[in-house]
Amino acid sequence: MAKKVAQKKAPARKSRAKAPVEEEVVLDAEAEEEVKATRASGKSLVIVESPAKAKTINKYLGKAFVVRASMGHIRDLPKGKFGIDMEHGFDPQYTAIKGKQKVIAELKRLSAAAKAVYLAPDMDREGEAIAWHLREALELDESKTFRVVFNEITKNAILGAFETPGKLDMNKVDAQQARRVLDRIMGYKLSPLLWKKVAKGLSAGRVQSVAVRLIVEREREIRAFVREEFWRVTAYFELDGHKFHAELKRIGETRIDKNLDRKMAEELVAKIGGSPLLLAELEDKPKSRPPTPPFTTSQLQQKAATMLRFSAKKTMMLAQQLYEGVEVPGEGSVGLITYMRTDSTRVSQDAITDVRKLITSRFGEAYLPANPNQFRTKSKGAQEAHEAIRPTDAARAPEVLKAALTEDQLKLYTLIWNKFVSSQMKPGLATITTAAFVFGDARFVAQGEVEVFDGCTRVFGAAAVRPPSAKDAEGEERDSDAAHQSLPKSLKTGLNYKPNKVDPTEHWTQPPPRFSEATLVKELEKKGIGRPSTYAAIISTIQERGYVTSEQRKFAATELGELVIDLLVQHFGDVINTDFTASMETDLDEVENGHRVWQDVVKNFNDVFMKDLDKAEIDMKNWKREPTLSDKLCDKCGAPMAVLFNKRGKFLGCSKYPECKNTMGVDGPRPAREVVATDKICEKCSKPMVIRSGSRGRFIACTGYPKCKNTASVDDNGEVIKPKETGIACDKCQSPMVVKSSRRGPFLACSAYPKCRNAKPLPDELREKPKDTGIVCDKCGKPMVEKMSRWGKPFIACTGYPECKNTKKVGEEAEKSEEPAEARTSDGDV
């Protein structure tokens, strides 16, 4: 255990820099009235992060409190400016986030008028930091400012928290502040180096770069992998109408795994011929399938990814909604799960008591263990004061909430409810039967499983007890031999059994699989990189930066990602590695526990990083000045084209830059786009119109461009697609209103534009519902529908959007349907 160091604690932190003068924000009349009412009635102010949370909490606190939302963070390090005083203890220079001035002004007026102020953001580091920023920005009187934390948004938890309010935990604030400063130092110092050496717009992150490195290294393992052939021999039996199989496991003293070649396999099969095999051993063993603990954050993200195909980001968004409160008929806004950022498997005694009552009433005494099941938290440095993710009330079974939740909310809630209830049930019991057949020195083994008692698997339903795959109801791997068969009860040792056939089959070793979201989260957790609350952000960031792509739900590194990681590992290998990053996470935990000073942690990192940075400024290859030349020539000056990069990836640029600024894609110059003359005249400038082709299809445009930018969408026959008439008159000029399209979708616009610029949202009755096509998505299996693009052209899209973004042109789906079924089989996850 880390020894607590003596440290001189700084007083409540204020930014060294003077806060910028903010323009006065005038509150509207309603807000002013609320301030007066708060002052007159002596109400207390409660500040949370989100309106949903505010609504749920307000219901329990009653009229003596005013509950308001800060809408997340209100202060942060400045944009476009480093914002850290490196000469004075890494002091951060916080400023109000753009657009939050009105929120700050209203909260400041309300807090000044309130009897007391309760800061109630989430209970993790980020929530503590939000509470501290609120205290600093609102200039709260510490004597009347309190911190309240709760693990669930229920009446008892809320009232209990307000009965025993505390003060801010500055250790948590320091830990979050250290993380923010570390990330700012690396981002602001390293990104300009990448801009100078590789391409503008690139960035690198302290934790995200390590995650990309894992993906790059796995990609190279896959490329370097050499497939090797191996053979298996399987004997197939049928006894009393019962089919089963046994696999060759041993020849003499040699264990057969992936070391059997074709010659040996075929020789053995020929030797056996039509001979029977002797059943030498038959053994029954009991098998217990104990319940697993309720979810931690990382486990929830992994299971939601494998079972529901949710991204980590989507899982956390849905979990946040369930935590903060959902409208339940007859109850109002109700928090349905406990806090969703946790690495603890602990469960409160009250929750255990409630779920044990539910198990007895719903499943019977036979499923209830004599004593509650206890689980040990695996995560190093886990917050045992937190609880696992569980329903706030186990009596709210998923079927009860169908009308209150969206489809995806219900799926996630069901996953959480099932896991929690099963965690307090008795183990499932089965009998594993192992039969060993011999022929000479060849030993074949068959395994079968018979369920004796479903136990904790009961909660998942009958289909989940023995699924068709080698995964159980929770997605855990099962014994692959036993998962698919049971053995006949009439088998007896000492008897010969003739197989229907003995088959040799060819197999190939497989490369390590690419990371999925679930396996990447698992790897990050295993190596101690990041924390449960940061996994979703890490995964989103590495995709947004263009360093990795996700294909069929598996991550692959891009060329840009590989190039950047190679440079970072070469010049910052002592920072961009799993051990160093994991040790930094441990240091941050030590800060949170009060065992380390946050400035010391930042200094240790900064000393190593700046030394590497100074060296890299000199030694890192400049890909802009020393590019690799391709085999393609410039179509403008004939010089070789150089391989260059920008934040979107690789492209080719003329090696004679800046004399020649020609660029092209890696496949060479694009073919000239077709321009088709028409007999149409521009109604704006009277010049001829032509049909051009763009990245989004064909359109008609004025030849007077760029002075005249008149364009319109055209159909396949080159006819202008006219705006759809609505029969609605403009309320400003009485001209007909038509349906037009923009990047945000269709809207109502006046046909007299540009004289009249009246526009309105499209009424629901005019919105076209997607047309059912009867086609199934060849990527995820969900139905596909016909939609209209914002340019007025139909296309086919998957209803699984945004998880599945599969689209097709109208008519393309007919071509696809002509293919044989096996040609359309997805190569997705098994």
SS (H, E, C) 112-166: HHCCCEEECCCCCHHHHHHHHHHHHHCCCCHHHEEECCCCCCCHHHHHHHHHCCE
What lies within 8 Å, CB to CB, of 606 at 6+ separation is 86, 90, 185
Per this entry, what is the length of the chain?
Answer: 830
Q: Residue 592 in contact with residue 178, Cβ under 8 Å?
A: no
pLDDT band at 716 (very low <50, low <70, confident <90, very high): confident
pLDDT band at 289 (very low <50, low <70, confident <90, very high): very high
pLDDT band at 31 (very low <50, low <70, confident <90, very high): low
- 739 versus 255: the higher-pLDDT residue is 255
Q: In the predicted model, is pLDDT for residue 242 greater than 80?
A: yes
Out of 26-35, 558-567, 684-693, which region has the weakest mean confidence (pLDDT)? 26-35
- 724 versus 182: the higher-pLDDT residue is 182
Q: Taking the mean position of all CA atoms in its chain, how far away is CA 429?
A: 35
Question: What are 596's two structure tokens?
Answer: 């380390």
Mean pLDDT of 595-606: 94
Q: In the predicted model, is pLDDT for residue 419 greater than 60?
A: yes
Q: Residue 387 in contact with residue 348, Cβ under 8 Å?
A: yes
Q: 3-class secondary structure for 381-432?
A: CCCCCCCCECECCCCCCHHHHCCCCCHHHHHHHHHHHHHHHHHCCCCEEEEE
- 206 versus 37: the higher-pLDDT residue is 206
pLDDT band at 788 (very low <50, low <70, confident <90, very high): low
Going by the DSSP 8-state scheme, the letter that residue 719 receives in this structure is: -
Tens-digit pLDDT profile for residues 169-207: 999 999 999 999 999 999 899 989 998 988 888 888 889
Helix (H) or strand (E) holding 631: strand 628-633
Q: CA-to-CA distance for 244 and 397, rounded, in angstroms?
A: 39
The candidate with the shortest Cα–Cα distance to 279, out of 446, 151, 153, 140, is: 446
Q: Angle at which helices 208-224 and 535-544 pack, to 10 degrees?
A: 70
Strand partners, 236: 245, 501
pLDDT of 710 = 84
Q: CA-to-CA distance for 817 and 285, rounded, in angstroms?
A: 50
pLDDT of 92 = 94
Q: CA-to-CA distance for 355 and 422, rounded, in angstroms?
A: 10
Q: CA-to-CA distance for 336 and 318, rounded, in angstroms?
A: 11
Q: Residue 503 in contact with residue 236, Cβ under 8 Å?
A: yes
Cβ-in-10-Å burial (0-12, 13-18, 19+) of 78 comes to middle
pLDDT of 789 = 66
Q: Which ranges in 424-551 belong to alpha helices (H)?
A: 462-465, 517-527, 535-544
Mean pLDDT of 75-98: 92
pLDDT of 178 = 94
The candidate with the shortest Cα–Cα distance to 222, out of 514, 507, 508, is: 514
- 211 versus 795: the higher-pLDDT residue is 211
Going by the DSSP 8-state scheme, the letter that residue 337 receives in this structure is: B
pLDDT of 790 = 54
**517 half-sphere exposure, CB direction, 13 A CA radius:** 32
The candidate with the shortest Cα–Cα distance to 350, out of 574, 135, 124, 154, is: 154
Q: In the predicted model, is pLDDT for residue 793 greater than 80?
A: no
Q: Angle at which helices 29-41 and 101-113 pack, to 10 degrees?
A: 20
pLDDT of 617 = 92
pLDDT band at 444 (very low <50, low <70, confident <90, very high): very high
Q: CA-to-CA distance for 504 and 232, rounded, in angstroms?
A: 6
Mean pLDDT of 118-144: 93
pLDDT of 811 = 60
Q: In the predicted model, is pLDDT for residue 480 greater than 80?
A: no
Average pLDDT over the chain, rounded to whole? 85
Contacts 24+ apart (CB under 8 A), 557-563: 557/212, 557/215, 557/216, 557/219, 558/649, 559/645, 559/649, 559/650, 560/202, 560/645, 560/647, 560/649, 560/650, 561/212, 561/215, 561/216, 562/216, 562/219, 563/198, 563/623, 563/645
Mean pLDDT of 552-575: 90
pLDDT of 474 = 39
Cβ-in-10-Å burial (0-12, 13-18, 19+) of 675 comes to exposed
Question: What is the rounded radius of gyration, in angstroms, for the C-alpha atoms of the chain?
Answer: 33
Cβ-in-10-Å burial (0-12, 13-18, 19+) of 512 comes to exposed
pLDDT of 818 = 33
Mean pLDDT of 606-632: 90
Q: Residue 187 in contact with residue 204, Cβ under 8 Å?
A: yes
Q: In the predicted model, is pLDDT for residue 21 greater than 70?
A: no
Which DSSP string corresponds to 770-798? PEEEEEE-TTT--EEEEEE-TTS-EEEEE
Q: CA-to-CA distance for 826 and 823, rounded, in angstroms?
A: 9
Q: CA-to-CA distance for 128 and 166, rounded, in angstroms?
A: 12
pLDDT band at 41 (very low <50, low <70, confident <90, very high): confident
- 216 versus 553: the higher-pLDDT residue is 216
Q: Is the dihedral of CA 42, 47, 51, 57 positive or negative?
A: negative
pLDDT of 200 = 84
The candidate with the shortest Cα–Cα distance to 484, out of 504, 462, 467, 461, is: 467
**Residue 473, amino acid:** A
pLDDT of 816 = 39
pLDDT of 310 = 92
Q: Taking the mean position of all CA atoms in its chain, how far away is CA 659?
A: 45
pLDDT of 437 = 97
Q: Residue 130 in contact with residue 72, Cβ under 8 Å?
A: yes
Q: What's the pTM value of the predicted model, to 2 decimals?
A: 0.76
pLDDT of 485 = 87
pLDDT of 3 = 39
The candidate with the shortest Cα–Cα distance to 486, out of 442, 447, 524, is: 447
Helix (H) or strand (E) holding 279: strand 277-289
Query: Measuring CA to CA, how many Å separate 585 from each of 1, 582, 731?
Result: 16, 5, 60
Tens-digit pLDDT profile for residues 647-676: 778 889 999 888 998 988 887 777 667 788
pLDDT of 20 = 42
- Best mean pLDDT range from 369-383, 421-435, 806-820: 421-435
339 tagged catalytic: yes
If you search the block for the tokens 């070789």, which residue do you land on?
Answer: 640
Grouping H, G, I as helix, E, B as strand and the rest as coil, residue 664 is strand
Q: Which of 60, 118, 323, 339 is catalytic?
A: 339
Q: Residue 219 in contact with residue 556, Cβ under 8 Å?
A: yes
pLDDT of 14 = 45
Mean pLDDT of 71-78: 92
